Each structure stands twice: as structure tokens, then as C-alpha cells.
């Protein structure tokens, strides 16, 4: 009888490695390496991603996240399609256009929860319909005309009477120099930059003039990735969610995380992050009603030829 406890201890020791294997493997092995392609150069909308990396929040999800910066805004989708990125930050309109071209990319989370597009005008333009007969600078992206039309039409104006000129991404110098009366651009970036340069402006955000509140930027992946590893997207979105919440809780530290990647002006980075931070709430969550509103908007204003199926374009679970 005296040998029984010793035998039990031997058996428990033999079983223990199997029982604790998951925890030990997580501690001993580095996280799974995944690549996330940004939609643009590093800037404050990416604060949640960079904070997740800097605070090791990706590691807590068993991931080792690497960020790739594209040369152009549509390159993140190209990297995704080519298998050179596992996930990407994508403009929601670009996601819809990619799906119309036959790319089976799927949105899995929201980077921001509202449109960032706006018509920003010099102070002499008191309301959107005052843009009739005036010159408005556009980048040339398909969504610009939709934003301009929505904003002017919602104020009772006629978008056909607005003169547009393509200025690329030179919204700030073009408006500051008076070359145009207004620009279609982003209120969280160029809008903040213009005010800091002392340019007095009026801001007509598209979701206050005709557009629903939809997530301007989303996290996306290939459907094949979702099928092969359904948990991977959940782990990534959990890491970005935690990073976004941490960034909102400490904006100065989050701004520093962004600036280390961008080498931009510190004061401007802080100001832009403060402006966009309210749009991070609720962090990462996709909302069906908002997405249905986006689908209707993009179809109505001609960004997309046909209304997208939200259940196919997004993973809502």
C-alpha cells in the first residue's frame, strides 16, 4: 500500500506535459507571423495597430504582426490579392470596387466607425449650395464625385453647377493658396492641417450631408484565409481592438507610436489623432445597419454598379 502514492505521482508527472502543453508552447515559441498592409503612409488612423504592436497586444493573441506601407492607396489590396499580406487596411469604397472586379476580399473589422470624407471650403463659402459656380478640387478617386454630389444636393444645391478640377492629393496647398474654393478631402487629416496653417475653413462632412454613418476604413482579408484559419481574423481583430482602446486611453503615447513610423510633425500628429479618436468607438466592431447604409449610398451615387451583398462582403461574426 505504501507504494501507491508514489505510483500516482509518477503517472501524474507523465501526464502533466500533455496537460500544460498549450501554455508552454505559447511561452516558448514566438507568435505566428502575419503581415498587415496599410492603406496609406502611417498616420493617426493607424494608432490602434501601432499601439497593439508597441504594447505586445498582438503577442497576447499569439501573433507577431508586421506592417507594410504601400506606395499608393490601392496597393494594400494588390498585396492582399498577391498573397504578400495576410490582412490589409482598405478604404470601404475600394473594397466594394475590388469585389465588383471579382476579388473575393472580405471585411473583418472597422478601423474607424464613420466617413472621413468631407468638402472643406474657404470661409467665404457659408454652406454647400454656395459652391454652385465655384471651383472645387478633387483627387480623381471615384468616391470624390459622390461625396461632392451628396453634400451639395443635401443642401438643396445642384452639383452639376459646381466646377471641379483634379488636384491629386494637393488639397492643403491648393486651398491655402486660393487656387480652388473648396476641396474634397479628409476632415481628420487635411482638415486639421489646414486649420493649423491658419487657413479659415468651413467643413461639410459627408455623413452630415446625405451620407449614412459607415466605416471609412476596414480591415480586410481573402476569403480563402478565412476558410483556412477562421480563428486568425478573430485573433487579429482582438489585438487591434485592444490596441485601439489603449490608444484612446493614452493619446500622447499613441501619437508617439505613430510618429515613430511616419517621422511627421509631432504637434500635427497629436492634433490629427485627437480629431479622429472619437471615430474609433466602438473599436473594430462591424455594424450591419451601417454597412447596409454604405451599400445603398455607394450604389445610389454611382461608386458601385450594383448594390453589394453585405453578408458576402463582410464577416459579421
The 3-class secondary structure across 80-109, one letter per residue, is HHCCCCCEEEEEHHHHHHHHHCCCCEEEEE
CA dihedral for 252, 258, 262, 268, sign (positive or negative)? negative
Can 31-114+214-313 and 117-208 be said to share one CATH topology?
yes
The pLDDT value given to residue 141: 87
The confidence score (pLDDT) of residue 12 equals: 36
pLDDT at 73: 65
For domain 117-208, give the fold: D-Maltodextrin-Binding Protein; domain 2 (3.40.190)
- HSE, side-chain direction, 13 A CA sphere, residue 155: 22
Tens-digit pLDDT string for the chain (317 aa): 443 343 333 333 333 333 333 333 344 446 799 999 999 999 999 999 999 999 999 999 999 999 999 877 678 999 999 999 999 999 999 999 999 999 999 999 999 999 999 999 999 999 999 999 999 999 988 899 999 999 999 999 999 999 999 999 999 999 999 999 999 999 999 999 999 999 999 999 999 999 999 999 999 999 999 999 989 999 999 999 999 999 999 999 999 999 999 988 999 999 999 999 999 999 999 999 999 999 999 999 999 999 999 999 999 97
Count Cα atoms within 13 angstroms, Cβ side, for 254.
28
The pTM assigned to this predicted structure is: 0.88
Domain edges within the chain: 31-114+214-313, 117-208
| Predicted local distance difference test score (pLDDT) of residue 24 | 35
Burial of 106-120, coded b for 16+ CB within 10 Å and e otherwise, reads bbbbbbbbbbbbbbb
Dist CA 67 CA 53 (whole Å): 9
Output the CA angle 27-46-287, nearest 5 degrees: 90
| CATH, domain 31-114+214-313, list 3.30.870.10, 3.40.190.10, 6.10.140.120, 3.30.200.20 | 3.40.190.10
**265 three-class SS:** coil
Amino acid at each position: 500500500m505504501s507504494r501507491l502514492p508514489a505510483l500516482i505521482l509518477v503517472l501524474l508527472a507523465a501526464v502533466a506535459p500533455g496537460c500544460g502543453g498549450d501554455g508552454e508552447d505559447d511561452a516558448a515559441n514566438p507568435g505566428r507571423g502575419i503581415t498587415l498592409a496599410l492603406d496609406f503612409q502611417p498616420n493617426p488612423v493607424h494608432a490602434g495597430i501601432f499601439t497593439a504592436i508597441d504594447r505586445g497586444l498582438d503577442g497576447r493573441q499569439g501573433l507577431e504582426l508586421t506592417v507594410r506601407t504601400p506606395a499608393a492607396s490601392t496597393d494594400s489590396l494588390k498585396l492582399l490579392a498577391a498573397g504578400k499580406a495576410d490582412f490589409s487596411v482598405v478604404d470601404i469604397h475600394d473594397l466594394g470596387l475590388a469585389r465588383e472586379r471579382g476579388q473575393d476580399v472580405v471585411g473583418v473589422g472597422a478601423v474607424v466607425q464613420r466617413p472621413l470624407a468631407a468638402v472643406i471650403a474657404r470661409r467665404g463659402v457659408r454652406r454647400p449650395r454656395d459652391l454652385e459656380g465655384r471651383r472645387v478640387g478633387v483627387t480623381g478617386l471615384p468616391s470624390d464625385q459622390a461625396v461632392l454630389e451628396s453634400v451639395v444636393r443635401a443642401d438643396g444645391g445642384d452639383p452639376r453647377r459646381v466646377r471641379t478640377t483634379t488636384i491629386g492629393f494637393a488639397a492643403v496647398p491648393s486651398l491655402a493658396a486660393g487656387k480652388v474654393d473648396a476641396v474634397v478631402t479628409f476632415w481628420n487629416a487635411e482638415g486639421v492641417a489646414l486649420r493649423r496653417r491658419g487657413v479659415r475653413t468651413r467643413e461639410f462632412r459627408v455623413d452630415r450631408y446625405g451620407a449614412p454613418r459607415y466605416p471609412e476604413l476596414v480591415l480586410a482579408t481573402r476569403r480563402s484565409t478565412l476558410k483556412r484559419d477562421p480563428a486568425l481574423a478573430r485573433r487579429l481583430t482582438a489585438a487591434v481592438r485592444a490596441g485601439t482602446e489603449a490608444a484612446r486611453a493614452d493619446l500622447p503615447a499613441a501619437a508617439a507610436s505613430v510618429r515613430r513610423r511616419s517621422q511627421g510633425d509631432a504637434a500635427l500628429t497629436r492634433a490629427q489623432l485627437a480629431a479622429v479618436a472619437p471615430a474609433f468607438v466602438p473599436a473594430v466592431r462591424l455594424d450591419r445597419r451601417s454597412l447596409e447604409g454604405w451599400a445603398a449610398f455607394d450604389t445610389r451615387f454611382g461608386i458601385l454598379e450594383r448594390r453589394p451583398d453585405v453578408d458576402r462582403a463582410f464577416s459579421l461574426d
